[in-house]
Amino acid sequence: MNLDLVLVSAKASLWNQTSQTYFGWLWWVVEPIMTMLVYYFVFEFLLNRGGPGFVYLLLIGVVAWSWFGNTVSNASTSILRAKGTISCINISKAVFPAIAILENSFRSA
């Protein structure tokens, strides 16, 4: 597997995603915080659960689950999305899930 290809493709995909949105990379920070605030409101005020350190636990859980869910979803469909590329050139199929995993890791870091 060509590591340079994976790195360049992941960076290009991230650059493309941030250039197409109004908030760009700021949305990657705002989205987990907004999700955490919704969960915090539901569990702290509506269900009277939580306790000391609940915010930190909630933030870690939201970020970890978001990374896992997005990574599995993107990596599982990456080979199907690259079907045309795979049929045109001789490239390892493992490159495309690796790009998706690295891309989601950069986004979540």
Q: Is the pLDDT of residue 1 over 60?
A: no
Q: Are 4 and 95 in contact (CB under 8 A)?
A: no
| pTM for the full predicted model | 0.66
Least confident of 1-15, 49-63, 66-80: 1-15
Conformation bin of residue 24: beta by default, left when phi > 0, alpha when psi is -120 to 50: left
Q: Is the pLDDT of residue 37 over 80?
A: yes
Q: Which residue has the tokens 């790195």?
A: 7
The pLDDT assigned to 97 comes to: 81
Local confidence band at 5 (pLDDT 50, 70, 90 cut-offs):
low
Q: Is the pLDDT of residue 106 over 70?
A: yes
